[in-house]
Structure formats: structure tokens, C-alpha cells
Amino acid sequence: MTMDILARQEVRPAAFDVEAIRADFPILSQQVNGRRLAFLDTAASAQKPVQVMEAERRLYETYYANVHRGVYALSQRSTDAFEAARRTVQTFLNARSEREIVFVRGATEAINLVAQSWGRTNLTPGDEVLISEMEHHANIVPWQILRDQLGFTLKVAKVTDAGELDMASFDALLTEKTKLVAITHVSNALGTINPVKTLVAKAHAAGARVLLDGCQAVPHLPVDVQALGADFYVFSGHKLYGPTGIGVLYAREEILTDMPPYQGGGEMIRSVTFEKTTFADIPLRFEAGTPHIAGAIGLAAAIDYVNGVGREAMRDHDQDLLAYAHQRLEEIPGLTIHGTAPEKVGVVAFVMEGTHPHDIGTILDEQGVAVRAGHHCAQPLMDRFGYAATARASFGLYTVKEDIDQLAEALMEVRRIFG
């Protein structure tokens, strides 16, 4: 391996310097509609630092080739970098083995993989899968599809008015019939941090497996899958300052080994005849076809970046911004924050009296402020609270209080327009 080609990009030291961080995200320096850009939609997809872009550019310029197949130098270098990325993810999640890390297109594909492989093999009529009211559609629809095909029961734990998981509801629905608990680590629509270690322990005591949706957790919290005890953990790279089209399924090795392939094709085989196919060992068994090589390498660069910034420093920064945002927005007449759990990340969803969230989003955009407006792929949660949609501001490691001030001032303009 030539270290000049595969060497990691230099990352920021642990001391949190938000202005130095912002300099690594050139997209933030532009103006939108003649205004300073305040990007507050990181929960939907994070911006990318130059280190991630450079890692992908370097691949394509100097050593790109398909992986696991060529005996020539470029292919070997690409394969080395691709598998190094897998080990980076393993370390990031504190998985026991790199064999427990499967590269997929995103958390959505990861959940569908578990549903169609583990679920189709292990769920039967009379079994139950337990989810919650705060789930993203990606952790609802795959289980509905499989339920309709296999005949098991889908149960839904309730959410409190503050946006916390109702533990009494969860406990009442968790029975010996529960074969899987599939629940979000952090709500994308509320920011609520669920007590997942407790939930995993309860589920295991009842004999159930656990899948955790970690999309909103990994950008904000240190995640240790061994400490959590989860059987499956999924996340998407683009929410972690990495590329789109790459994600991760973590599954405990003994479970993954017993799961049949999800898709068939090249790469995931050991041998093929017209009579029989013998499949590759894990994790390649679940990575049919040419993988997203640049995506995996870019994701590794993103993980290196956030590790260099410092996970605890990022968490402190996020909590400082969250407290400041609640303070500023609660001063605005007619505005109600949606999701007030004491344990949450930098996500603030809100509604304004007499104003549709889409109108809020449009007017904020005129002021250079980018927020998300809609149901956030959580329509059942919106129904539970009686809203068709909310506006949502979400923070990243590059967010500054000036962004929040700009949001608050723009919301006062919304208030002025709509009275």
C-alpha cells in the first residue's frame, strides 16, 4: 500500500474551534437571496467538509479501480482503502469485528435488509414487532410490507406530550410474543434521545431482538454498540458529514452469519453453477454488486473528521446551541416548540399560530435561513400531535449562535407578515 495515496486527511484537534471548522465547509460562505446563509437543516443532510471531498477526489484521480477483483496495483489499493473504511466504521461504533459491518446505500436499505433477511426468516403469524409513534417512515413501512406478507402483528408504543417515549406503553406492549423491537435512537422530528440501553435490556429480557435507527444519533452522540447491546444498528453517511448513497448496517456476528442473502449478484458469491450458488462469508454476502467505493472512503474521512473535532466537544457545542435556540424561539409570540423532552439533540421543531410551516420555510429562505418544513417522514407522529407539518431547525458542528439569531429575526418577519 502506498501511504501517500491512502493516508488520511489531516483533521482538526480536539479543541473545538467553530470558526476553523466552518472554514472547512466552503458552502457556508455563500449568500442566499442576498443574505448570509444560515444553514439549519443538518438533520436532513449535513454539509461536507473539504476533507471528505478531497478523499473522494484523491481516489478518482490516483488509485480508483473496482475492489476485491483485480490483481493489479490500482485494484489492490482501492480494495485496501475500502476495507480500511470498514475498519474505521468498526472502531467508530466499537463493534467487535469488521465482519459485523455491512456497507449499504443508507439506513433505509439497512432496515429493509434486516426485514427481508432476518425478518422473513424469523417472523411468523402470532409474532409481534414493536416500534414507536416517533419512528421515521423508513422504520415503519418495511415492517408493514413484511407484516402484510407474513401475517405477524405490528405494535406501536406511544409518545408523551413532551415527545418522550411513553415507557408504560412500551412495557405494556413488550411481551413474550415480541420478536423484534425496532426503534429510533434519536427522533429526527423531535430531537428526543431515547433510553435505548434500557430498552435493549428490557427487550432482551423478553427474548426479543433489537434494531436501533442511529441516523440522528451518530452526528450528535458517541455510540458504542457493544455497550448498548443492540443486535442491529443502522445509520446513513450523509447525515454524518459524509457522502450520500452510503450507509452502514451493524449486526452482531452470530446473527449476521445465520441470515440469508438479501440480494443476489456479483461480489456476494463464492461459486456459481446453473444448479447451485455458494455464498461468500459475511459481510460480503450482503454486498451484491460493485459497492459505493468512493462513498465508503468518503464516510471514513468524515468519521476521521468528527473524531478529530472531538465527540464530547461536539456534544457540548450542540447542547449549548440547543439551549440558546429554545431561549430565542420561546420569546417569539405565537410560536410553539414541538418536542420538549429533557434529553434531546440539536433539533428544534415548531409551529406558529396562523402560519403554515411551508410559508414559514419560504419566508425564512428569503432571509437566507434554510430550515425544513413538512412532516419530516414522520406522518404518524404529526398525526399524534394534531399537526400536518412543522418547521424544523437542526444544528451541526458548524452551526453558530449567529445562525440562530438570524433564524429568530426571520421568524419575527414571519410574525409581522402574518400578524
Q: What does DSSP assign to residue 62?
A: I
Strand partners, 347: 394
Cα distances from 55 to residues 51, 68, 86, 232, in angstroms, run: 6, 20, 15, 28
Cell of 397: 458542528
Q: 214-258 pLDDT, tens per residue?
A: 999 999 999 999 999 999 999 999 999 999 999 999 999 999 999
Q: What angle do CA 179, 185, 186 make, to 5 degrees?
A: 145
For residue 409, the surrounding DSSP H or E stretch is helix 401-418
Which is higher by pLDDT, 81 or 267?
81
Q: Do the beta carbons of residue 291 and residue 104 sit within 8 Å? A: no
Residues noted as catalytic: 377
Residue 344 has pLDDT above 80, yes or no: yes
Best CA proximity match to 256, nearest among 57, 125, 99, 131: 99
Q: How far is CA 200 from its chain centroid?
A: 19
Please state the length of the chain. Answer: 419
Q: 312-342 pLDDT, tens per residue?
A: 999 999 999 999 999 999 999 999 999 999 9
Q: 171-183 pLDDT, tens per residue?
A: 999 999 999 999 9
Best CA proximity match to 193, nearest among 318, 85, 334: 318
pLDDT at 16: 86
Best CA proximity match to 182, nearest among 112, 254, 103, 267: 112
Cell of 247: 450507509
Beta-sheet strands, E only, within 240-364: 247-251, 269-272, 277-279, 335-338, 347-352
SS3 132: strand
Cα distance between residue 43 and residue 53, in whole Å: 20
Q: 286-305 pLDDT, tens per residue?
A: 999 999 999 999 999 999 99
Q: Which fold has domain 60-307?
A: Aspartate Aminotransferase; domain 2 (3.40.640)
pLDDT at 5: 37
pLDDT at 263: 95
Q: Do the beta carbons of residue 407 and residue 393 sit within 8 Å? A: yes
pLDDT at 120: 97
For residue 391, the surrounding DSSP H or E stretch is strand 390-394
Task: Tell me the pLDDT of the chain averaged across its residues.
Answer: 95
Best CA proximity match to 303, nearest among 225, 234, 239: 239
Q: Do the beta carbons of residue 370 and residue 392 sit within 8 Å? A: no
Give the helix, strand, coil percentages of the chain, each rounded to 5.
Answer: 45, 20, 35
Cell of 112: 429493509
Cα distance between residue 132 and residue 309, in whole Å: 33
Residue 202 has pLDDT above 70, yes or no: yes
Q: Do the beta carbons of residue 221 and residue 241 sit within 8 Å? A: no
The residue extents of the domains of the chain are: 15-44+310-418, 60-307
Q: pTM of the full predicted structure?
A: 0.95
Q: How confident is the model at residue 15 (pLDDT cuts 50, 70, 90)?
A: low
Best CA proximity match to 110, nearest among 230, 236, 203, 244: 236
CATH class of the domain at 15-44+310-418: alpha beta
Cell of 5: 495515496
- φ, ψ (nearest 5 deg) of residue 192: -60, 135
- Residue partners of 13: CB distance under 8 A and separation at least 6: 308, 310
- φ, ψ (nearest 5 deg) of residue 103: -85, 130
Q: Do the beta carbons of residue 174 and residue 203 sit within 8 Å? A: yes
Residue 38 has pLDDT above 80, yes or no: yes
